[in-house]
Amino acid sequence: FAKERGRNHYQLYTPDQGKRVGKKMMLANGLRTALANDEFFLQYQPQFNLETSEIVGVEALIRWRHPEFGLISPAEFIPVAEETGIIVDIGKWVLKTACKQNKEWQEAGLPNVNMAVNVSVKQFQHRDFIKGIKKVLTETRLDSRYLELEMTESIMQNSEYLHGVLSELREMGVKLSMDDFGTGYSSLSLLRYLPIDNLKIDKSFIDGIQVDENAVSIIKTIIDMGMNLNMNIIAEGVENKEQAIFLKKNNCNLAQGYLFSKPLPAGKIRRILEGRVVGNHKVI
Ligand code: C2E
Ligand code: MG
Ligand code: MG
Ligand code: MG
């Protein structure tokens, strides 16, 4: 930035903006080497069937242990990775690591669960996306039915191309989830014709369960609509019993959140799979 200052560009930035740009550049540069240096790892958050208390899947969530700055949240670095395009390579690593892990659990004789992987729009838009998915499934020998891809509503922008990609994934047997549902822009008619298996109700609505009548109405509407469209409904960010009881009573079949379990390292998930039911879940 010294150079820019020298060229009288300094006035374009307030000190705060300068800091932000500086941090972003730091992240962007760091992301390039993080893959090579093995600084990423995955944690897995269990997803439960509220009716049977069984674990039905896990969501893979990326973590970055920076050698200098420690743990950096994906909420912070994923947007930067998307902007710089490196999300495509990071995404491949996540997919491979997650599928491999799931296969490992299966080969150890543990019950089969779904592996949900977050996928950025940038990855879906990449011309080799389907090829990459096929490659990962072949290499890890994971049955496609145990892979679930989570996308956000921002994907709705590119509908015709998107429809082709999603349809091909569906034909391959891969499951598709709409993440953070209700917070973005979703056209109802698109939702009707896209081959989506699961709707994940965003945490912001779950937070409103005991406090906000509007949130409650929206949740009920989402559940109703999802059921009519033959989708599973997953509540995300369930933090207390009251929320879980409400969801169960209102036919939301699946849930994840700190009430049941935080995202965990693979070894701890293994122990949950061995016991099949987590004690904490039985509270409802
Ligand atoms: P998301 O996919 O909506 O994931 C849910 C986030 O909520 C996770 O945050 C999870 O740890 C957190 N969470 C789950 N239950 C609770 C709860 O009960 N209370 C609270 N307060 N939080 C809860 P995390 O791991 O920090 O991830 C943030 C976001 O980063 C994710 O939101 C997702 O959009 C993105 N992300 C994470 N991993 C990946 C990845 O591998 N690829 C891509 N493209 N994005 C990722
Ligand atoms: Mg997600
Ligand atoms: Mg989500
Ligand atoms: Mg969310």
pLDDT of 239 higher than 80:
yes
12 Cα to the center of ligand 2, angstroms: 37
Residue ID of nearest Cα to ligand 1 atom 46: 118
Q: What is the DSSP letter of 40?
A: E
Tens digit of pLDDT for each residue in 168-208?
Answer: 999 999 999 999 998 887 777 778 888 999 999 999 999 99
- Asked if residue 237 has its Cβ within 6 Å of ligand 1, the reply is yes
- Which of 35, 42, 61, 205 is the pocket-test mutation for ligand 1 (most atoms within 8 Å of CB)? 61
CA 61 to chain centre: 7
Q: Are 215 and 208 in contact (CB under 8 A)?
A: yes
Residues 6 or more apart from 105 whose CB is under 8 A from it?
A: 113, 269, 270, 273
Which helix (H) or strand (E) segment is 234 a member of? strand 232-235
- Asked if residue 45 has its Cβ within 6 Å of ligand 1, the reply is yes
Closest CA to 248 of 223, 211, 277, 269: 223
The confidence score (pLDDT) of residue 1 equals 41
Q: What is the DSSP letter of 264?
A: B
- Asked if residue 114 has its Cβ within 6 Å of ligand 1, the reply is no
Prediction pTM value: 0.92
Band the pLDDT of 97: cuts 50, 70, 90.
very high
Which pair of structure tokens corresponds to residue 241?
A: 């019993």
Residues 59-83, mean pLDDT to the nearest whole number: 96
211 Cα to the center of ligand 2, angstroms: 24
| ipTM, interface predicted TM-score of the complex | 0.98
The confidence score (pLDDT) of residue 284 equals 61
Please give the angle made by the CA atoms of 196, 60 and 199, to the nearest 5 degrees: 25
- Which of 31, 118, 147, 269 is the pocket-test mutation for ligand 1 (most atoms within 8 Å of CB)? 118
The confidence score (pLDDT) of residue 192 equals 82
pLDDT of 5 higher than 70:
no
Band the pLDDT of 36: cuts 50, 70, 90.
very high
Between 234 and 3, name the one with better pLDDT: 234
The confidence score (pLDDT) of residue 25 equals 87
The confidence score (pLDDT) of residue 254 equals 97
Residues 216-238, mean pLDDT to the nearest whole number: 96
Q: Residue 150 CA: which ligand 1 atom is closest?
A: 2
Which residue type does 78 have? I
pLDDT of 15 higher than 80:
no
Q: Are 233 and 253 in contact (CB under 8 A)?
A: yes
The confidence score (pLDDT) of residue 4 equals 43
For residue 143, give the 3-state DSSP assignment: coil
Q: Residue 43 CA: which ligand 1 atom is closest?
A: 25
For residue 130, give the 3-state DSSP assignment: helix
Q: Residue 180 CA: which ligand 1 atom is closest?
A: 3
Band the pLDDT of 11: cuts 50, 70, 90.
very low
